[in-house]
């Protein structure tokens, strides 16, 4: 995505530290990171100070010491002044009187002790101060294997404790991106500190978010069926994907985490089979066993209870009298079959229907959201054209002037996501007066989202020859609708939070 | 089959031409990465006189990862479980590509001479080993006699 266009514009309140944000519905404070910014901010930023204190030590050696001391520069400085030799030894660095001559040598007639390859032609070998030489291919595979743990990497020779500098690792791996070892180190650190850091769950997103303040994992115990949705820690990553820091799932407001879990489990268990069963099977009118008809006539005999019935009207076969192969009861079969379908079967059918009602809407919004993402890409292209167009008219426009477009797409996606989860929310809701209020809020949001979506469809439609003009014509409507989506989504969720907390909305799980 | 890396060929040659005393390792005819191994129990250990059979396999990543080794002969040892799997640092975290088949087999032989019940794999054996070392040693001798000494 274009960095400029998506430059964070979230309004940070003045008390927050640089790079920190506060979540929308509560006071959780978080910091979105990329791996690169994290390494720079938390690790490499300590180097200049360290270099000032220990100018006699090389940059590479300092970086090794700093990693060894887990990025506590004070520790490095103190240990160095206490006993430099001890620190050097612990870090796997050569003593002061030794040359630290890490070399990439080009030599002839070399036999690598690892792969046993005889290099007669000149080949590059790497060695540390210990002078244990191995060919670059072997060093490359050795480092690729060891790097995942993020720990400092030693010379291949097991009895040798010397550490390979970060810079040499990058050179041996032959990759463009620097700081490979620090990347691995940071990754494994983040994976081990899940109370404080969470990776963004969006597909293909590689950023992560740090929780800074006002979050306690025990507040929302995953197993505890807490109805309180005011406390859900919704954070966003550097790409502005919103997610729940507690269950590490996408932003699922207004649903509490435990409802999301139930819903997802239900969808996995039921949806596929439920669809298929709804379309292909009938329940035996007497014993409710699901029956699939894979051929033959409509005279069914239940294999379980031996009840004979008509597949078309589900009526008792004996009631068909002479008309065995034509179901004369097809049209008024409803009243007849009611006698046979017992209460329980009806109930289960109704509950399945109810589930499918909500699931369908949930799934539609999910797939529409994927569509929206494609639209986003196309609109982005159109935006560029729009910019060019404006430039031609010699009006000095910046990206700020078209910010409204990307804001609108973002609003659309936020609206859809909230809408999607309202169906999960509604599925588990007990009926009541406040349910109706919730549903009408849902309707409002739904209508606005569809209106905006329609405008975007119109813009990128193939038939539309003058996309730029459409954008200009619709600019005000787009801005109004996106503001409306944001405020309606907000009032929907705020309403849900208040009503759940006051016990006016209740879950039925 | 993919060509065998030079490293494996050289190691195999040396294992045959210059065998380690008390250890044999010969590659299988149909898979040159699979070795049939025997290790003699160290003379001052409860495994003395025993000839233990093992299998050793060199994975594709070898020598960047350790060989897979397993006892085929039943053995009573705190660091070797019922399935013959071995708990040994150089077979896991402390593997280095500079180690070889021969050094690994020597380490295993050394493990027979120095059981380490404080870092057990077979918990029941280790427990008995710590409670009554004399008894455990005699069981180990019994098992050696029963499973690892050829009767002919």
pTM equals 0.73
When mean pLDDT is compared across A28-37, A49-58, A381-390, B130-139, the lowest value belongs to A381-390
In this prediction, residue A12 carries a pLDDT of: 42
Residue-averaged pLDDT of chain A: 81
A225, A235, A220: which is closest to A26 by C-alpha? Answer: A235
Res A365: pLDDT: 85
Q: Which of B60, B90, B96 to mutate to test the interface with A (most CBs of A within 10 A)?
A: B96
Confidence of residue A330 (pLDDT cuts 50, 70, 90): very low
Chain A residues close to B5, C-beta within 8 Å? 115-116
- Does the beta carbon of B60 lie under 8 angstroms from any beta carbon of chain A? no
Q: What is the pLDDT of residue A398?
A: 60
Cα B75 vs. chain centroid, distance in angstroms? 11
Residue of B nearest to A118 (CA): B6
pLDDT tens for A129-152 read 888 999 999 999 999 999 988 999
Cβ contact (<8 Å) for B98 and A156? yes
Q: CA angle B109-B111-B113, nearest 5°?
A: 80
Asked if A139 is an interface residue toward chain B (Cβ–Cβ < 8 A), one would say no
The pLDDT assigned to A98 comes to: 61
Q: Does B130 touch chain A (CB under 8 A)?
A: no
> What is d(CA B106, CA B100) in angstroms, rounded to the nearest whole number?
10
State the average pLDDT over residues A68-97: 90
Distance (Å, whole) CA B107 – CA B127: 23
CB B105 within 8 A of CB B36: no
With contacts defined as CB-CB under 8 Å, which chain A residues touch B64?
141-142, 145
Structural domains of chain B ordered from first start: 6-148 (3.10.110.10)
User: CA angle, A425 as apex, A423 and A426 as ends, to 5°?
Assistant: 65
pLDDT of A219 strictly over 80: no
Residue A299 pairs in a beta bridge with A310
Mean pLDDT value of segment A327-356: 59
Q: Chain B interface, mutation test: which of A110, A112, A114, most B Cβ atoms within 10 Å?
A: A114
**Closest approach of chain B CAs to the CA of A167, in angstroms?**
22
Q: Which range (A14-23, B10-19, B51-60, B116-125) has the least confidence?
A: A14-23
The CA-based dihedral angle spanning residues B27, B30, B31, B32, taken in that order and rounded to the nearest 10 degrees: 40
List chain B residues with CB under 8 Å of A149. none
CB-neighbour burial class of residue A367 (10 A; exposed 0-12, middle 13-18, buried 19+): exposed
Interface check B64 vs A, CB under 8 A: yes
* C-alpha span between A186 and A192 (Å, rounded): 10
Q: Is the pLDDT of residue B35 over 60?
A: yes
ipTM reported for the complex, 2 dp = 0.84
Nearest of B53, B54, B41 to residue B137 by alpha carbon: B41
Please compute the mean of the pLDDT values over residues A16-32 and round it to a whole number: 85
Q: What is the DSSP letter of B119?
A: S
Q: Which residues from A are below 8 Å from B61, CB to CB?
A: 141, 145
**Active centre residues of B (catalytic):** 87
pLDDT for A163 beyond 90: yes
User: Is residue B41 within 8 Å of B52, Cβ to Cβ?
Assistant: yes
Q: What is residue A13's predicted lDDT score, i.e. its pLDDT?
A: 45
* B124 CA: distance to closest CA in chain A (Å): 32
Q: Is B103 on the interface with A (CB under 8 A)?
A: no
DSSP for A314-364 reads --BGGGGTT-TTS-TTTTTHHHHHHTTS-HHHHHHHHHHHHHHHHHHHHHH
Taking contacts as CB-CB distances below 8 angstroms, the residues of chain A near B96 are 156-158
B90-100 mean pLDDT: 91
| Rounded Cα distance, A117 and A136, in Å | 12
Q: Which of A369-373, A438-442, B96-100 has the lowest mean pLDDT?
A: A369-373
Cβ atoms A211, A235 nearer than 8 A: yes
Report the residue of chain B nearest A143, measured CA to CA.
B64
Query: Residue B62 pLDDT > 60, yes or no?
Result: yes
Cis amide linkage into residue A234, ω under 30° from 0: no
Contact present, A429 and A437 (Cβ < 8 Å):
no
> Residue A356: what pLDDT?
81
User: Both tokens of residue A74?
Assistant: 């004070």
Quick one: pLDDT at residue A222?
Answer: 52
What is the helix (H) or strand (E) element at residue A274, kind and residue range? helix A272-280
Contacts A113 to B, Cβ<8 Å: 98
For chain A, what is the total number of helices (H) and then of strands (E)?
A: 15, 15
A137 to chain B: closest CA residue: B64
Distance of alpha carbon A267 from alpha carbon A262, whole angstroms: 9
Q: How far is A162 from chain B (nearest CA, A)?
A: 14
Q: What 3-state DSSP class applies to A197?
A: strand
Q: Does residue A120 sit at the B interface (CB-CB below 8 Å)?
A: no
Neighbours of A497 (CB within 10 A): 20
Q: What whole-number distance in Å separates Cα of residue A347 and Cα of residue A283? A: 12
């Amino acid at each position: 995505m274009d960095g400029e266009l998506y430059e964070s514009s979230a309004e940070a309140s003045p008390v927050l530290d640089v790079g920190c944000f506060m979540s929308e519905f509560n006071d959780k404070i978080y910091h979105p990171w990329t791996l690169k910014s994290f390494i720079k901010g938390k690790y490499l930023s300590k180097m200049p100070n360290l270099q000032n204190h220990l100018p006699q030590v090389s940059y590479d050696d300092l970086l090794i010491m700093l990693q060894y001391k887990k990025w506590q520069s004070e520790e490095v400085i103190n240990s160095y002044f206490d006993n430099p030799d001890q620190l050097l030894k612990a870090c796997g660095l050569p003593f002061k009187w030794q040359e630290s001559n890490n070399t990439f040598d080009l030599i002839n007639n070399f036999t690598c002790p690892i792969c046993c390859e005889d290099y007669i032609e000149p080949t590059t070998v790497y060695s540390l101060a210990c002078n244990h030489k191995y060919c670059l291919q072997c060093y490359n595979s050795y480092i690729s294997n060891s790097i995942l743990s993020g720990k400092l990497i030693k010379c291949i020779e097991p009895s040798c404790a010397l550490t390979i500098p970060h810079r040499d690792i990058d050179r041996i791996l032959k990759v463009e991106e620097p700081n490979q070892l620090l990347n691995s180190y940071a990754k494994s650190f983040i994976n081990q500190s899940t109370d404080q850091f969470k990776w963004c769950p969006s597909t293909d997103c590689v950023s992560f978010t740090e929780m800074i303040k006002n979050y306690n994992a025990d507040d929302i115990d995953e197993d505890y069926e807490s109805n309180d949705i005011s406390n859900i820690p919704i954070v966003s990553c550097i790409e502005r994907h919103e997610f729940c820091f507690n269950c590490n799932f996408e932003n699922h407001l207004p649903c509490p985490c435990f409802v999301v879990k139930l819903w997802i489990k239900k969808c996995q268990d039921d949806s596929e089979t439920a669809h298929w069963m709804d379309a292909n099977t009938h329940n035996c009118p007497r014993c409710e066993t699901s029956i699939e008809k894979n051929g033959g006539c409509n005279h069914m005999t239940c294999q379980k209870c031996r009840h004979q019935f008509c597949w078309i009207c589900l009526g008792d076969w004996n009631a068909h009298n002479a008309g065995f192969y034509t179901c004369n009861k097809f049209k008024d079969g409803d009243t007849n079959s009611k006698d046979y379908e017992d209460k329980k079967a009806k109930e289960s059918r109704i509950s399945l229907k109810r589930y499918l009602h909500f699931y369908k809407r949930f799934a539609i919004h999910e797939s529409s959201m994927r569509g929206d993402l494609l639209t986003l890409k196309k609109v982005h292209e159109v935006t560029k054209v729009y910019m060019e167009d404006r430039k031609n008219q010699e009006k000095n426009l910046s990206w700020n002037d078209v910010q409204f477009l990307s804001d609108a797409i973002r609003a659309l996606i936020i609206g859809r996501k909230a809408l999607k989860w309202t169906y999960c929310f509604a599925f588990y809701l007990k009926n009541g007066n406040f349910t109706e209020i919730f549903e009408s809020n849902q309707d409002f949001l739904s209508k606005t989202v569809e209106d905006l979506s329609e405008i975007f469809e119109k813009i990128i439609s193939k038939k539309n020859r003058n996309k730029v003009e459409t954008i200009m014509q619709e600019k005000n409507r787009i801005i109004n609708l996106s503001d409306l989506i944001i405020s309606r989504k907000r009032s929907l969720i705020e309403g849900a939070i208040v009503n759940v907390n006051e016990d006016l909305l209740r879950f039925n799980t | 089959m993919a060509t065998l890396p030079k490293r494996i060929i050289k190691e195999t040659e040396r294992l045959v031409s210059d065998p380690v005393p008390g250890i044999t390792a010969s590659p299988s005819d149909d898979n040159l990465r699979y070795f049939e191994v025997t290790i003699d129990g160290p003379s001052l250990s409860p495994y003395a006189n025993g000839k233990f059979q093992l299998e050793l396999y060199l994975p594709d990543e070898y020598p960047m990862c350790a060989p897979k080794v397993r006892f085929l002969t039943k053995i009573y040892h705190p660091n070797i479980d019922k399935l013959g799997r071995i708990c040994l640092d150089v077979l896991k975290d402390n593997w280095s590509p500079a180690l070889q088949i021969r050094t690994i087999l020597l380490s295993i032989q050394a493990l027979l001479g120095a059981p380490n019940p404080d870092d057990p794999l077979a918990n029941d054996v280790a427990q008995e080993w710590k409670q009554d070392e004399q008894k455990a040693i005699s069981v180990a001798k019994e098992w050696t006699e029963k499973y690892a000494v050829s009767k002919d």
